[in-house]
Amino acid sequence: MTDETKKNGVDESPEAKPEANPDAPTAEDLAGAARAAAENEADPAQEPSELELVAAERDALKDKYLRLAAEMDNLRRRTARDVRDAKAYSVSNFARDMLAVSDNLRRALDAIPAEALQAGEAGLKALSEGVEMTERAMLSALERHGVKKLSPAGQKFDPNFHQAMFEVPNPEVPNNTVVEVVQEGFVIGDRVLRPAMVGVAKGGPKQPAAASESEAQDAEQ
């Protein structure tokens, strides 16, 4: 040891300095380890437990089952309604055609002169009775299948069931009262098969709150 390597009694020669440990952790390593420890402590709180996973799966399956049950219930209701409507209204077109035949029978009866019937001609009277019986039988058969005749005379005009053809000035009858039926109307179930063609009163007092055809239908149901 020379004087040049001594200073204030401290040996500063290279041999006197401690050797660096390559395995010693650096400050950066220590900071990374601290961050990793903090993350490991936070993970158990963030990750759901097995019980929570099972509960979530149960809730999802329950929600799916309830939705499926509601859809099946709606499907059953729609199917039942479609079957009911098909049964009730399947004869609509046929009934409408039969109404045209019934109209022709009524025209034939109206075409017979009243004087001839009053004269008592046997053949003409038998023909009239036969045509009338045929008309009644046809309407009765239609009624058995849900077709009913409307009787709007004296009722309040209802655009849902009646078709106004003309107005009749009459100050003694409440306004919008059906005073004449030009052609009979018919319904099948709660649907209009053919509206009644009517004449309505005009110029009378305000129509009182009387039951219209639609209100009468609701009352029957």
CA distances from 213 to 50, 71, 109, 145, 176 (A): 67, 37, 28, 20, 13
pLDDT at 111: 87
* Residue ranges for the chain with pLDDT beneath 70: 1-47, 207-221
- Alpha-carbon distance of 45 to 50, in angstroms, equals 13
CA distances from 90 to 44, 45, 95, 101, 181 (A): 67, 66, 9, 19, 28
Quick check: 179 and 199 in contact, CB under 8 A?
yes
Angle between helix 122-144 and helix 92-111 axes, rounded to 10 deg: 160
Q: What is the Cα 127 distance to its own chain's centre?
A: 51
- Give every strand in the sheet of 147-149, ordered side by side: 147-149, 186-188, 191-194
pLDDT at 40: 54
- Alpha-carbon distance of 187 to 218, in angstroms, equals 13
User: Which residues are 147's β-sheet partners?
Assistant: 188
pLDDT at 151: 87
Structure tokens of 164? Answer: 């106004």
- Tens digit of pLDDT for each residue in 76-118? 999 998 888 887 788 888 888 999 999 999 888 888 888 877 7
pLDDT at 5: 45
